[in-house]
């Protein structure tokens, strides 16, 4: 096979093969770059999200829909405030810090109650790098007017869909 021939060639010529840099960490997108992206940097996972009638309409497309936001560099504690139209129920936030490669298997979650006009929760973390926002999405969808992440220090990261 071609792979075998290439491997034999590399061995016989003692060619150096590039290796991934284990210390490489891509730089996070700045807040300005994220705001220039659709949905202000929020990424739908297990759901569909479109801006419609002055709100972000989120509709479930799977069992566990959430909106994700990465590339954050916020000093904690961080307060999450969300304004919605209609819909209510229990929501959950999961996060990871800048010193974590992946989301931890347990912990670093907070629950909140979403009323018909929204809700808020404070995340007790020294810093916030990546966030998953699990919302109670009814069959007809949930309309989100804005999402704000307000750190203890520095500028808030706000997405307004109205």
**Which pLDDT value is given to residue 34?**
47
**Which pLDDT value is given to residue 80?**
93
Mean pLDDT, residues 142-153:
92
More confident residue, 99 or 1: 99
**Which pLDDT value is given to residue 26?**
66
pLDDT in tens, 105-146: 888 999 998 887 888 888 888 889 999 999 998 888 899 999
- What is the DSSP-derived secondary structure letter of residue 141? -
Residues 6+ away with beta carbon under 8 Å from 94: 103, 108, 109, 131, 132, 134
The radius of gyration of the chain from alpha carbons, rounded to an integer in Å, stands at 20
pLDDT in tens, 14-58: 998 888 888 877 665 554 454 455 799 999 999 999 998 889 999
Helix (H, G, I), strand (E, B), or coil: what is residue 114?
Answer: strand
**Which pLDDT value is given to residue 33?**
52
pLDDT in tens, 57-82: 999 998 889 999 999 999 989 999 99
**Which pLDDT value is given to residue 29?**
54
């Amino acid at each position: 096979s071609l792979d075998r021939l290439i491997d034999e060639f590399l061995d016989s010529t003692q060619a150096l093969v590039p290796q991934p840099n284990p210390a490489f960490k891509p730089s996070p997108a700045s807040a300005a770059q994220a705001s220039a992206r659709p949905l202000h940097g929020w990424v739908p996972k297990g759901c569909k999200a479109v801006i419609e009638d002055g709100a972000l309409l989120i509709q479930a497309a799977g069992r566990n829909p959430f909106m994700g936001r990465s590339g954050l560099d916020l000093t904690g504690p961080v307060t999450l405030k969300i304004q919605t139209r209609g819909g209510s129920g229990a929501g959950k936030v999961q996060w990871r810090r800048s010193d974590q490669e992946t989301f931890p298997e347990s912990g670093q979650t907070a629950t909140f109650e979403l009323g018909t006009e929204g809700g808020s929760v404070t995340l007790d973390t020294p810093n916030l790098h990546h966030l998953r926002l699990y919302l109670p999405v009814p069959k007809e969808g949930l309309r989100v007017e804005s999402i704000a992440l307000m750190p203890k220090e520095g500028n808030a990261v706000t997405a307004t869909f109205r």
